[in-house]
Amino acid sequence: MMSLKFARDDAKEWMEMKVAHNPGDIQPQQPETNPARYQNWQPPAIGWLKCNYDGSFVSSNLPAKSGWIIRDHNRVYMGSGQAMGGVLNDAMECELQSLIIAMQHCWTRGYQRVCFEGDNQEVVKLINGTKINFGSYNWIREVKRWKMKFDAVEFKWINRSCNKPADILAKKEIPNNSSFFFHSLIPRVISDVLQCDYYSYH
């Protein structure tokens, strides 16, 4: 326990020194992540896609599930997916696994400029370097490894109420009892919330 405390102290000191000498290396959370700014889902910038993702963690004895949905700057549906992941320790790992699966799927479809948006603020802080969690180090490293495969990537936080399509997909049973399913057409279970997202943007 003492060695872990020393490691944390060293990491904190290193981060403080890095900010002091290179303040541009670690940026504070961007305004877009403020839940008070946007109450509705927002489309990405022109030329980008937005992939909203979420995870469903029940217990450390059951496989975690993932759901994600991709839309363009015109709010046009580009596809969505569901996947069965591994047996994980907690909800944090579930969110990180869901992000990685969503990134892998976007990459296989050839998408190169993607904003990945989830409702776990801790995950976004860890990935963007504004917070440290040694227990999540390997997960964060994997996220950054996949990030390098894209031309441009953003990681943003969104209020849970604005992430309903991904949340529904993560919790719903995967069709055909498969471990992965891609929905080229809008699944009926999210059609209503997608319509609300479409018309609520202004």
State the pLDDT confidence band at 165, using cuts at 50, 70 and 90.
very high
Q: Are 76 and 142 in contact (CB under 8 A)?
A: no
Instruction: Map tokens 């860890």 to a residue.
Output: 126
Q: What does the domain layout of the chain look like in residue ranges?
A: 30-200
Q: What is the mean pLDDT of residues 47-54?
A: 98
Q: Is the pLDDT of residue 26 over 60?
A: no
Instruction: Map tokens 């994997």 to a residue.
Output: 142
CATH superfamily label, 30-200? Ribonuclease H-like superfamily/Ribonuclease H (3.30.420.10)
**Cβ atoms < 10 Å from Cβ of 179:** 12
Q: What is the mean pLDDT of residues 84-90?
A: 86
Closest-CA residue to 117 (of 127, 109, 108, 107): 127
pLDDT value, residue 56:
94
CA distances (Å), 117 to each of 14, 51, 112, in order? 29, 6, 15
First to last CA, the chain: 52
3-state secondary structure of 133: coil
State the pLDDT confidence band at 14, using cuts at 50, 70 and 90.
very low
Q: Is the pLDDT of residue 105 over 90?
A: yes
Least confident of 1-15, 80-94, 161-175: 1-15
pLDDT value, residue 201:
67
pLDDT value, residue 86:
86
Q: Which of residues 18 and 43 earns the better pLDDT score?
A: 43
